[in-house]
Each structure stands twice: as structure tokens, then as C-alpha cells.
A = this chain, B = another copy of it.
Amino acid sequence: MPKIQAPKGTRDFYPDDLLKRRYLERLWRDTSIRHGFEEIDGPAFEHADLYKVKSGEGILAEMFGVFSGKAAEDLDRVRQTGEAPFALRPEFTPTLARMYAARAGALPKPTKWFWMQNCFRAERPQRGRLREFGQWNCDVMGGDGRLADKEALAVMRGILDEAGLTAHDLSININSRQVTQALMREAGVPDASHAAFLGFLDGSAKRSPADNERRLHEIGVAVQVASRFGSIVQEFASAHRSGNQEWETRLAGTDIERIHDVLRDQDLQQGRPWIVLDPEIVRGLAYYTGMVFEVIAEGERAVAGGGRYDNLIELFGGPPTPAVGFGMGDAVLSLLLEDKGLMPDATRAMECLSRLPASYRPEGFVFAAGDEAQPRVRPLVAELRRGRASEAWRNRSDRKPWDADRYAACGVRPMHARHSYKATRNIGKLLQDAAAQRARFAVILENEHEATLKDLDTGSQDTTRTPIDRVPAELARRLTPA
């Protein structure tokens, strides 16, 4: 009998391979949980129509059809239309939108979900691109959109930090489709061609000039217009780099100010800034409406990508719900970590996997007792989630992210921290919120400098105040079983 191989573009994971995959998944899951995301899952195959709503041509052209071999009507449909009733999920966002829409009324605002499973695309397999690949998604639906953008970027940066990657290895390039569309208008791209032109831009750098010309012709955009658009983008990028404010006015009516707000965010940009404006980023999926972003490492495909999709949940029958999210695949991330010496061998991976996972219960729930302390809430939450690597570890030239001493001694391990999304300053109500989210400790910022801790399991509250910058170490100490 001839040996049957695995389908091309799929992988067999022998034990040592799987340990590395589980290491990545552990990073994904632990980081998501510490940032207050909850895990969900949906079917591996969906009605093919689900992807026709708004995923765009790129996705539709690369789907695997699925049909029941038992149902004659399924087979008839394939024979007659060439299309299968079901498709292997090429991405998770349509399932997420369907699930959110089905229960929108009962879900909190914001709802923060993560998801980790495989996706499937009938692409030509190449480096970093497979037909079955692992993907991690994080999405924030509802609530304050500006905050949600930052939360999505923060959890994404969190995983890169935890994996040992730095701003020397990659950058997070952001843009807004609203900005891109304003630039299209300046260049004279007809309004009716905006969506198609966005589709054209994604990947245009990888296509031949002839191929690009052919596509422009198809979508009814003159080559001169496209060329003018390219020049305007360069002009904008260069003005942005030199701090020229004139563009703020030209881009009025777009979310350019929100993009600048992200670029200025201290928590997201701490250390060497990772996040840069890149007006050439548009992303391929048809449903993005505002901010879009990509994690870019030299010589590799995008490590992650995402954006804001404010209309998608409504399209799936839910209420109007602003939303933002991203996906990160395991294939490119694995290549990058291997290249940088940041992928543990099987023995190291076993050690990591045998350690205590992130706490599903929030360990610290932070809120301010008054307005003056409010600006300290998010930075403290960010610090708790990040942890603080020990000095001994930071000074080691051969340090690796999985070293047991990374957060030992004078370091502070990363924790699961949350803050309230409620506008109230009523401490009783905020404590109820903490309890409803099953938090272990409430961290009450009494003023700009001091906090008190309340153990929500025992109900005992400190009378002494802890300086805010010592809260992470103090909370870690209280959480360690005696």
C-alpha cells in the first residue's frame, strides 16, 4: 500500500514539537487571562454564508468547503453550484460576531473575549503560511472605544513582552482606514471605489506592477490616481515624522486624534516605543472601519494583525456595537522566536508548562476612591499585568524569557489585574463590582500616592496605606500562600 502523507500545508506534531506549541498557547492564554479576557470557542466549520457577510474576497477565495457525505442535498448543492454548504473557519471573527449578537443584551460592556484554536485556508503553503494554523484572537466589544483600542494593543504587546521580544525585534504599525479614506478622497479615488481600493492596497507591494495595473483597471481607479494617492501617503507619513500639525486639519472628521492618543500612551509605549504610525497599513479583511494594525518583524510576514470593526456585530443581527480585535498566528511567531533564540527546547518548555498558570480569578481589582486618584488606576493595572523582571535576571547576558528567576527575588510576577469600567465613585458599588468579577483583592487608590488593600475572601481591609508603587510587590506577597 502506498504511504498516505499528511495533506500539504498541515503539520504532524510529535511530542517535542507539541511541547513548543503548548508553550506558545500557554503564553497566549496566561497573558489573555491576566488582561481580563475570557476564553470562548465555536465550531471548526460554519455555514459558508457566515463568511460571505463581510470577510471579503481574499478570504472567500481561500476557503475549504465542507459537506456531509451522508446528505444527498449537500452533495447536490456542491455539484450544481460548486459551493459547499459549510466551510472550515478561515478566521474566527464572524463566529465571534455571531455569538456576541446572539447574547448581546446579557453581555457586559465591554465584553473581552479571547480564543485559541486552528484556522484553515486553502493557500499555497510557504514560509510562515500554512493551510491549518493555530491562531490567538482577542476582542473587545462595546464600552469606551478609545480604551478598547488600547486594551487590544496592550494584551498584544503583553504577549510579545512575555515571549522575550522587544522593540528591537519588531514594531506595531498602526493606521486608520478613516485616515486612508480621507487620503483617497484627496487623491481623487471615487467614493464608490473606496472599498475595492482598500482591497487593492493590501498586498499591492507584493504584486508586480503589471498585475497592479490590471487590478486598478478592474476596480475603476486610474493609474494616475493610484500614483497620486501613493505620493499623498508619503507626504503624510513624512509630515507626521517631522511633527507637522497641518495634517490634523486636513484629516479632521477622521479618527486621527485617536491614533495620536494611542501613539502617546505611556503604558503602551513604555521602554523603547513599539507603536508607530504607518499609513501604508490597511489590512485585508473587508470589515475594518477605523484603526488597523500589524506587528511587523523584518523578513517575515505579519506576526499579528487586527483593527476596529464597528459595524460587524450589527450585520450579524446584534445591536450597534463598536468592537476591536486582532489575530496572531502560531506559524510566523514560531519562526520569529526560533530565529531570535527565544523558543525553548522541549525540556525548557516542559518546565514552563509545569509551573503555576495565570490565575483565572482576578488577583487585584483596582479602583479610585476619588477623582484625584483616577489617573493612577490604569497605569497600576498595566504594571500589575506586566510584572517586573528581577534585576538579577535583567543583568544576565544569557537571559531567556522562561528562566525561573525572571520574576524571582526582587522581581514581581505578572498578575491578573482588572479595573472597574463603571463611572461611579461609590466605593460600595465598586466593591460589589469586584466581588461580581470574583476578584481576590480590591486595591483602593485612596489618593494619588497611597492605596489600601481589601481581601475580598476574608473581608479584612488594611488600616495602613501602601504607597502605590509598592502595591505590586505587596499584592504578590499577600497572594503567596504562607
Contact with B along A53-94 (1 / 0, CB 8 A): 100000011111111111100010011001110111000000
Chain B contacts for A83, CB-based, 8 A: 69
- Complex contact B22–A39 (CB within 8 A): yes
Task: Give, as a whole number of angstroms, the nearest-CB distance from A337 to chain B.
Answer: 19
- Complex contact A347–B438 (CB within 8 A): yes
Task: Give, as a whole number of angstroms, the nearest-CB distance from A62 to chain B.
Answer: 6
Task: Give, as a whole number of angstroms, the nearest-CB distance from A106 to chain B.
Answer: 10
- Complex contact A4–B103 (CB within 8 A): no
- Complex contact A18–B40 (CB within 8 A): yes
Query: CA of A357 to CA of B45 in the docked complex: distance in angstroms?
Result: 31
| Residue A315 CB within 8 A of the other chain | yes
Chain A: interface size category: 35 or more
- Complex contact A7–B65 (CB within 8 A): no
Interface residue from B1, B53, B357 paired with A357 (Cβ < 8 Å): B357
Known A44-B132, A103-B14, A360-B353: A64·B67 in contact at CB below 8 Å: yes
Interface residue from B1, B13, B45, B118 paired with A7 (Cβ < 8 Å): B45
| Residue A46 CB within 8 A of the other chain | yes
| Residue A3 CB within 8 A of the other chain | yes
Query: CA of A11 to CA of B99 in the docked complex: distance in angstroms?
Result: 11
Chain B contacts for A99, CB-based, 8 A: 12, 14
Task: Give, as a whole number of angstroms, the nearest-CB distance from A134 to chain B.
Answer: 10
Query: CA of A69 to CA of B86 in the docked complex: distance in angstroms?
Result: 11
By beta carbon, the residue of chain B nearest A48 is B69
Interface residue from B38, B49, B82, B86 paired with A15 (Cβ < 8 Å): B38
Known A66-B66, A354-B361: A113·B317 in contact at CB below 8 Å: no
| Residue A101 CB within 8 A of the other chain | yes
- Complex contact A350–B356 (CB within 8 A): no
Other than the known A6-B43, A66-B66, what 18 A-B pairs have Cβ atoms closer than 8 Å?
A: A4-B47, A4-B49, A6-B98, A12-B95, A12-B102, A18-B41, A43-B132, A44-B44, A44-B88, A45-B132, A60-B69, A64-B86, A65-B67, A69-B87, A70-B122, A75-B82, A88-B88, A354-B357
